[in-house]
Amino acid sequence: MKILLVLYDGGKSAEEEPRLLGTTENKLGIADWLEEQGHTLITTSSKEGADSEFRKEIVDSDILITTPFHPGYLTREVMDSAKQLKLCITAGVGSDHIVS
């Protein structure tokens, strides 16, 4: 499966602190495991606009994982383009990212 993570860039802080899991650097702590299972993992912080990595990669992704602090919004337009999407996960609590 292709899994798309939309996370925030943590920079030096994330590199120094692996417990900052919601960053593009630390990939929720699941990157190695997912890849060992044979999945393709795409991680990006680029989420705004039609030319964003989010919009380009969602088209053939099976799973979307995003966070409440740097959400990739799954609008009806985005959802219509994501024909293979089976699961949407918010890695955290507090807000919705699906807009119909």
**Quick check: is 65 in a domain?**
yes
25-to-5, 11, 52, 82 alpha-carbon distances in Å: 11, 7, 18, 25
Domain count across the chain? 1
Q: Which residue has the higher pLDDT, 27 or 70?
A: 27
Q: Is residue 95 part of a domain?
A: no
Residue 71 pLDDT: 84
Q: Would residue 98 count as lying in a domain?
A: no
The predicted structure's pLDDT at residue 97: 58
Give backbone dihedrals phi and psi of 45, rounded to 5 degrees, phi first: -110, -5
Domain that holds residue 56: 2-90
Residue 99 lies in a domain: no
Q: Is residue 15 part of a domain?
A: yes
pTM over 0.85: yes
